[in-house]
Amino acid sequence: MRTVRRIHRLTASFLSVALLIVAVSGILLGWKKNSNGYLHPDSYQGTTTDLARWLPLDSLRNIAIMTMRERGGEGLSEEIDRIDIRPDYGMVKFVFAHHYHGVQLDGATGAVLQVEHRRSDVVEDIHDMSIIDKLLGVDGEIFKLIYTTFTGLSLLLFTATGILLRYPPKKMKSNGKPVSDITGQTGT
């Protein structure tokens, strides 16, 4: 039981930090669409939902890159991470890789509807610790995989040792003597 207690305390130390990060970031992610555009940028309405009247995607992409150059500042990557086409809004979002910005454009006119600072993407990267991979410039999200695996296994181990400490076997023998349970009483 001493070994079980030691393992339980060790995993608790790690998990207290990891679960605090997961809990706070999880709450923020749960509220992101209800943050009045602070965490997750609101989607703006374009002029038409008729895709036949939209500009070609490469033209919209060029407008988004020029907008990021002009409004985003010097030195930001112009690499596009994803394009979010919203026909029901008449709008298209260009989300940039390597920084947390996006540009919303009217699909038909190319007018800039919003230059976004995507705080919810930062919170998501903190939530799964892929932010460390990005800060270190590591491809393949190796830190994220190690962190999530270690956190998950620690939580399983913490739960198992907690159950063993809460519901110890009635009688354990070690060298022929009863082993005391968590309360310090010996089993019968």
Whether 130 is covered by a domain: the verdict is: no
Of 2-6, 129-133, 163-167, highest mean pLDDT: 129-133
Residue 149 covered by a domain: yes
Residues 51 and 107 in one domain: yes
Same domain, 59 and 111: yes
Span 91-118, mean pLDDT? Answer: 94
Q: At what angle do helices 142-166 and 2-31 cross, to 10 degrees?
A: 130
Quote the domain boundaries for residue 8.
1-38+140-183
Q: Give the chain's mean pLDDT.
A: 87
Residues of the chain with pLDDT > 70, as a percent, come to: 88
**Does the pLDDT at position 114 exceed 50?**
yes
Residue 188 belongs to a domain: no
Indicate whether 54 and 81 sit together in one domain: yes
144 and 176 co-located in one domain: yes
Average pLDDT (32-57) is 94
**148 lies in a domain?**
yes
**Residue 135, in any domain of the structure:** no
pLDDT confidence of residue 188: 47
Higher pLDDT, 180 or 140: 140
Q: Does the predicted TM-score (pTM) go above 0.75?
A: no
Query: Is 33 in the same domain as 55?
Result: no
Q: Is residue 124 part of a domain?
A: no
Question: Is 106 part of a structural domain of the chain?
Answer: yes
| Res 119 pLDDT > 90 | yes
Which pLDDT tens digit goes with each residue over 7-18?
888 888 888 898
Average pLDDT over residues 93-112: 94
Q: Is there a single domain that holds both residue 50 and residue 94? A: yes
Is the confidence at residue 179, as pLDDT, over 60? Answer: no
Could you tell me the pLDDT band of residue 166, with boundaries at 50, 70 and 90?
confident
- Token pair for residue 95? 């989300």
- Please give the pLDDT value at position 180: 55
pLDDT tens for each residue of 72-94: 667 788 899 999 999 999 999 99
Stretch among 63-67, 107-111, 183-187 having the lowest mean pLDDT? 183-187
Whether 48 is covered by a domain: the verdict is yes
* 13 and 45, same domain (yes or no): no
Please indicate, yes or no, whether residues 71 and 103 belong to a single structural domain of this protein.
yes
Is the pLDDT at 62 greater than 80? The verdict is yes
Do 111 and 53 sit in the same domain of this protein?
A: yes
Give the long-range contacts of residues 123-131, CB within 8 A, separation 24 or more.
123/25, 123/28, 123/29, 123/32, 123/39, 124/25, 124/29, 126/21, 126/25, 127/21, 127/22, 127/25, 127/26, 127/29, 129/21
Same domain, 100 and 145: no
Question: Is residue 45 domain-shared with residue 26, that is, in the same domain?
Answer: no
Angle at 53 between CA 60 and CA 82, to 5 degrees: 30
Q: How many domains does the chain divide into? A: 2
